[in-house]
Amino acid sequence: MRALAPIATTYTEEQLVTLLRQKSRDGFNYLYKNYSAHLYTVIRKVISDEATANDLLQEVFVKIWNNIGQYDNSRGRLATWMMNIARNAAIDKLRSRGEIMQSKIRSLDGFVTDSGPLPAKPATGEAIDVKNHVQQLKPEYRDIINLSYFQGYTFEEVAEELKMPLGTVKTRMRSAMQQLRAIYNVNREGK
């Protein structure tokens, strides 16, 4: 295996998109270095099996690589576009393997805490803050976000699962996302 070229530069999302469209290896290395852990984490939160998750990460990179020409920055950031590719690929895999039923059986609490093998945290200093962030989110909000985003439930299925009216689910989704925004202080003008 040959050594990877060192990456000394910081690219903006726009520059990275250009590099990826040129099928540049630097572009790939930068993409991998900066985004692979995030994409992998999204996948692992949906698919706990490590070997399947590894294959899926590869599929996700292939999708990004082949579809980068279709990425439209007026519709959102590159990072969120890629995050959605990873999430959708993982949910598709979950459904195709008939695992959706199994995942429904998993308890909500189990889902939140049991996210597979020991997570490798990139920076211990940050990890402490991060824990606090997660804990700030009300458990009922966390459940609703995890059920829909990481287990692929439609809001009708969420309503059924949590035995609450559809209207309440929508309101709770709104409140959950508002709390997330407040926790991460996200209040920006869209692109």
Partner 1 sequence: MDIKAYIESGILDAFVLGALPAGEADRVQADIDQYPELAAEVAALQDAMFAYTSEDLMVPPAALQEKIWNELSTGANARQQIVFEEQNDDAFSGQLNSVPTGNNSKQIPLQASSSRFSWRYAATVAALVGSAGLNVYFWNQSKQQKQQLLAISTTVDSMHQQQKAMEFAANGFKKTTDMMADEGMNTVVMHTMLKGHPMAATLFLSKNKDKAYIMLNALPKPPAGMQYQLWAIHNGKPMNMGVLPNNMAGTPMIEPVSSPTPVMEGEAFAISLEKEGGSITPSVDSIYVMGRPS
Minimal distance in Å, beta carbon 171 to partner 1? 6
**C-beta separation of 29 from 6 below 8 A:** no
Helices assigned H by DSSP within the chain: 13-21, 25-46, 50-67, 78-96, 99-105, 108-113, 124-136, 139-145, 151, 155-162, 166-184
**Does 23 engage in binding with partner 1 (CB under 8 A)?**
yes
Q: Which of 121, 128, 138, 139 binds partner 1 (CB under 8 A)?
A: 121
Q: Which of 11, 26, 79, 108 binds partner 1 (CB under 8 A)?
A: 79
**C-beta separation of 35 from 61 below 8 A:** no
Kindly identify the residues of this chain, within the stretch 158-187, that bind partner 1 according to CB under 8 A.
158, 170-174, 176-177, 180-181, 183-184, 186-187
**Does 93 engage in binding with partner 1 (CB under 8 A)?**
no
Q: Which of 7, 13, 15, 22 binds partner 1 (CB under 8 A)?
A: 22
φ, ψ at 39 (rounded to 5°): -65, -40
